[in-house]
Chain A
Amino acid sequence: MKTTSSGFWQTATLILVGVGLVLFALSGYMTPLLGTILSPLVNVQEWLATRYVAVYEFVTIPRDVASLRARNQQLEQEVTSLQAQIIELQQQLREAQVLYALLDFARSNPQGGQYVAAAVVGKDPNPFLKYIFIDRGSDDGLRRGMPVITNQGLVGQVDAVTATAARVRLITDPSSVVNVRIEPHRSEAQLVGSVTGDLTVEMVSQDAPLQAGDLVLTSGLGGTFPADLLIGQVISVRKQSNELFQSATVQPVVDFSTLQAVLVITNFRPVDFSPLIPTSVP
């Protein structure tokens, strides 16, 4: 009797607790509690599910690894090939830009000169000398003494020629001397190179109002170069009252360290003054 009575109360209590919990849940009072309890369980469930998927993939995917590796290798080869193509195209674009600039210069030059474009293929092995080699020679009409320029300005002069190549003495060479005119005051001077590759204008009259920013152009005197080719800009002046002449350092407009292509003016021949030089009569 006692056992039956306590069983009833237990069942009733459980039902009451159950109904109470359901009512609490339905009314929303259980949400924080459920959230607190379920959160770690969800995490555990998620961890288990992830591991299961990983194990499942490990077991099932190896059948495709060989084909995936082959595909990956193929794609990597394609990427390598495309990267090589990009580098090659970039190189071609740079060359084309240089050539277009030279072409523009040749077309827009009012002097109407005839030009031969040439690529720079080497540099003199002797570090004391500033010479370059170009891939055009006498077969293309090049002759010794012809001026060499870029769209920016004067580069140098053809020094030696073979059938298919030529050696060009840069204006930065220590033995190079160019007759120049300094604008805007039109002073005459000489531009000389140096072993360091720096350019200096010398023999400038003390009266000339030489100052930084002045432009240096070829004067055409001596018949070695045509007139009015741009060379550079004066960056510093050395003037001392006890000297006969003043001098200045010149920043060339041409970057000689990255010279890739040049133009040779083929319809200009330097004037040969040697017959006019008096010789001693025995």
Chain B
Amino acid sequence: MLVSLLGVPIFTILLMLQLAIVSRLPLLQGTADLLLLFVTGWALHERVKHAWQWALIGGLMTSLVSATPFFAPLFAYLLVNGFGRLLQRQVWQTPILAMLLTTFIGTFIYHGITYIALFFNGTSLPIQDSISLVTLPSTLLNLIFALPVYVIINDLANWIYPLEAI
């Protein structure tokens, strides 16, 4: 429970960083998503037990702040978390590759859900421009940020879930 509550200040800080800095550093029209990366990294860590709780916190916070309709970030983060947990059980021996793969797939999941949500909200985006100018640059930025985030998540998880002495 305490670990879950720890997600609130962490995601608050991450959201502030995202809004103030990361969202203002675009590559073409794409930007990195720190919260998505943290949700991904947390889901992939083998010692983390209830990763979905952090996905829930991050998703709720982003949904409340962002103008994205229908709580799309919440569903996207939960889906990415589920995908990460699934992958973590299959290829846990190479977590860094799993992190990169989940980041790649996760960005597409998030943008796909956003695209669908906006479509049902009455905003039809040109799919070619959306992919080439938003999704692919965002994916590249997320992949670049994935490695430092993975290291931070690893330290954080080791601090929260220390190894028991044998």
Q: Does B40 contact A (CB under 8 A)?
A: no
Q: Within the complex, which residue of A121, A127, A133 is in contact with B134, where a contact is CB–CB below 8 Å?
A: A127
Given A127-B26, A127-B30, A129-B66, answer yes or no on A121-B20 (Cβ-Cβ < 8 Å).
Answer: yes
- Least distance between B32 CB and chain A CB atoms (Å): 9
Given A128-B118, A159-B67, answer yes or no on A123-B125 (Cβ-Cβ < 8 Å).
Answer: no
Q: Mark B110-151, 1 if CB is under 8 A from A, else 0.
A: 010011001001110110011001100010000000000000
Which residue on B lies nearest to A169, using beta carbons?
A: B67
Instruction: Sort chain B's interface into a size bin.
Output: 20 to 34
* Chain A, 74-130, CB within 8 A of any chain B CB: 121-129
The CA-CA distance from A70 to B122 in the complex, in Å, is 68
The CA-CA distance from A195 to B135 in the complex, in Å, is 11
Q: Does B35 contact A (CB under 8 A)?
A: yes
Residues in A neighbouring B103, C-beta threshold 8 A: none
Q: Within the complex, which residue of A125, A159, A160, A175 is in contact with B123, where a contact is CB–CB below 8 Å?
A: A175
B29 close to A196 (CB less than 8 A): yes
A129 close to B125 (CB less than 8 A): no
Q: Does A174 contact B (CB under 8 A)?
A: yes
The CA-CA distance from A122 to B23 in the complex, in Å, is 8
- Looking at chain A's contact residues, is the secondary structure mostly helix, strand, loop, or mixed? loop
Q: Does B78 contact A (CB under 8 A)?
A: no
Instruction: Sort chain A's interface into a size bin.
Output: 20 to 34
Residues in A neighbouring B15, C-beta threshold 8 A: 125
Q: Mark A223-241, 1 if CB is under 8 A from B, else 0.
A: 0000000000000000000
B125 close to A131 (CB less than 8 A): no
Q: Does A136 contact B (CB under 8 A)?
A: no
The CA-CA distance from A123 to B133 in the complex, in Å, is 18
Given A122-B20, A125-B35, A175-B122, answer yes or no on A196-B26 (Cβ-Cβ < 8 Å).
Answer: no
A128 close to B130 (CB less than 8 A): yes
Given A125-B15, A127-B30, answer yes or no on A195-B129 (Cβ-Cβ < 8 Å).
Answer: yes
- Least distance between A191 CB and chain B CB atoms (Å): 15
Given A121-B19, A195-B130, A195-B134, answer yes or no on A127-B29 (Cβ-Cβ < 8 Å).
Answer: yes
Residues in A neighbouring B26, C-beta threshold 8 A: 127
Given contacts A128-B115, A174-B118, A195-B134, 10 further A-B contacts (CB under 8 A): A122-B16, A124-B67, A125-B66, A126-B67, A128-B111, A133-B19, A167-B67, A175-B123, A194-B129, A195-B133
11 contacts between A and B (CB under 8 A): A124-B68, A125-B23, A125-B35, A125-B62, A126-B73, A128-B114, A128-B115, A128-B125, A128-B130, A129-B67, A195-B130
